Amino acid sequence: MSNVSKDEALKNASNVVALLSQGSDPFISEEVRAQALQAANLVIRALEKPEDGLIKFAFSPTTWMAIRVCAQLNVFDMITKHETISAAEIARIANADETLIRRLLRVLTAAGFVAEKGNGLYGPTHWTVHINSRLAQGMLKFIYDSSMLPIAQGVNWLKETGYRNPVDPQHGMFQAANQTDMPTFKWLTVPKNKEIWDNANTFFEGDRGSRPSWVTWFPTKEKFFPEGHQQEVPLLVDVAGGRGHDLMEFLDKYPDELGPFVLQDQQVVLDSALSLSPKIEKQPFDLFEDPPVKGARIYFMKFILHDYADEQCMQILRNVKASMVKGYSYLVINDFILPDVGCGLLQSQWDLMMMVLLSSMERTEAQWRALLESAGLSIEGLYLPPGDAQGIIVATL
C-alpha cells in the first residue's frame, strides 16, 4: 500500500460489490453505475503507488497520439472488421511500416483498446468498436487536432499573462497557438479548417457520451407542454442546435407533438444536418446578432453558454430574452452544474478544455444564478439527473 490503508481499499471494494448487487434487474442504472465507478476508482487509487501512477500519467499523451495515428490510418476499422488481423496486413493496407504499427498497437493493447491475439495479431474489443464509430472518430480527431498545441503552450501562456483567468475570446491559448486573433468558432469556419470544423460538429452530436438525454429523466411534458398550444408559434426552438441531434431526440420521445419545431444555427452547420424530421424547420441564425424566432414555448440551449465568458453570454441571453413571452416562454439550459465540493473528473477536465479552446468555463450553481439573474432572468429551478450527467436549468422572464 502507498498512501491509503488496506482497510480503506477493502471498504471501497466492498462498496463496488454492494452497489452492483442491488436489485434483480440484470442492467445497471445510471446512478448505480456512476457510484460504482467512483468507488472502483478509489480502489485503484488505493492500490496504485503514487510514484508509479504519476509516471504512467506523465507518459499518457503517447497513448493519445497512438489512438490518433491509428484513427488516421483506419486501423480501428481494419481490426473491427476482422476477428484476427496481423500487423503485417495492417501495415500493407495502410502503407505503413510494420514495426511502427506494432509499436502503436503495443500501447493500445496494454490499455485495453485493442485485443492482442498473439505475436503481431490483433482483434477487436468493445473499445475498438466504439472508437471506430463515426461520433467517436469526430470527437478524438477534433479534440486532439484542436487542443494539443494550445495545451502544450498553455503553461507559458498563463505565465506570460500573469496567471489571469482567460475571458477574452480573441486572445486565449487557442489564439496564441494558432497565431490568430479570431474567436475559435470563427477560426474553425475558415475554409482551410473545414475538416476540423466537420469533426467538431460530429463530436457535438455525441458529446453527451452514454449519459441519458434530458428528455428521459426530466418531466418535460408535464412542465412545458401547454394545453391548447397554438401551432402558429414553435413548441421548441433549438438555439444554435448544430445538426439537430438533440431536437431529434426530443421528437423521438414525443412523436405525436405537432410542433412547430425550429433548428437555428449558422447556414454552414444547417447544410450538414441531413437526417432531420420533416417537422423541423431549419433557420440560419447568428447567436450574437439575431434573436431566436419569437414567441416559442421552449428555447433550448445545450452546451452553448459554456462556450463563452460572461460578457458574451449576456449578449446571447439578451437576444433570447427579446424573443421570450412573459408568463409563457421558458429558457431550458442543458449544461454542467459544477458542485463547489467533490467535482467529478470529467466535469473538471471539461472546464479546463473550455478554458484552453474558448477562454470560457463550466459554471457552479452560484455562477449560473449570478449570470442569469444579471441578465434579468428568473431561475425556476436547477435539476440534476441520477448519475453524473449534465443538469437542466430552467429560467423565465
Asked whether residue 303 falls in the same domain as residue 355, the answer is yes
Number of domains in the chain: 4
Same-domain status, 247 and 278: yes
- Where do the DSSP E strands lie in 105-177? 115-118, 121-123
β pairing state of 337-338 and 363-364: parallel
- For residue 315, being part of any structural domain is answered with yes
In this structure, the answer to whether residues 269 and 249 fall within a common structural domain is yes
Environment class of residue 221 by beta-carbon count within 10 Å: exposed (0-12), middle (13-18) or buried (19+)? exposed
What CATH code is carried by the domain that includes residue 107? 1.10.10.10
Residue numbers in the chain where pLDDT is lower than 70: 1-4, 23-25, 228-231, 388-389
Do residue 148 and residue 191 come from a single domain?
yes
Q: Could you tell me if residue 178 is inside a domain? A: yes
Co-location of 228 and 163 in the same domain = no
Q: Do residue 169 and residue 108 come from a single domain?
A: no
- Predicted pLDDT of residue 93: 97
Which of 96, 116, 99 shows the shortest CA–CA distance to 108? Answer: 116
Verify that 151 and 182 share a domain, yes or no: yes
326: domain range?
214-396
Give yes or no: 306 in active site: yes
- Is residue 298, in this structure, part of any structural domain at all? yes
The answer to whether residue 96 sits within a structural domain is yes
| Phi-psi map region of 387: left, alpha, beta (phi>0 left; psi -120 to 50 alpha) | left
From 205, 222, 256, give the residue that closes a domain: 205
116-152: per-residue pLDDT in tens?
999 999 999 999 999 999 999 999 999 999 999 999 9
Asked if residue 243 and residue 374 are part of one domain, the reply reads: yes
List, for residues 78-87, the tens digit of each pLDDT value.
999 999 999 9
Residue 107 covered by a domain: yes
Q: Is the same domain home to 113 and 141?
A: no
Task: Please pick, among 82, 126, 245, 306, the residue that the annotation labels catalytic.
Answer: 306
From 205, 225, 255, the end of a domain falls on: 205
Of 205, 240, 257, the last residue of a domain is: 205
**Residue linked to cell 405537432:** 258
What is the signed CA dihedral for 339, 340, 346, 352, rounded to 10 degrees? 130
Per-residue pLDDT at 52: 85
C-alpha cell at 63: 497513448
Give Cβ neighbours of residue 210 (< 8 Å, ≥ 6 apart). Answer: none
CATH assignment at residue 347: 3.40.50.150
| 288 in the same domain as 248 | yes
Residues 374 and 300 in one domain: yes
Same domain, 273 and 340: yes
Kindly state whether residue 231 falls inside one of the protein's structural domains. Answer: yes
- For 277-284, the CB contacts below 8 A with 24+ separation are 277/248, 277/251, 279/251, 280/244, 280/247, 280/248, 280/251, 282/244
d(CA 278, CA 375): 35
Q: Is 227 a domain residue?
A: yes
C-alpha distances out from residue 142 to 136, 196, 346, Å: 10, 6, 17
Is 1 part of a structural domain of the chain? no
What is the rounded CA–CA span in Å between residue 331 and residue 360? 21
CA distance 298 to 328: 9
Bridge partners (DSSP) listed for residue 274: none
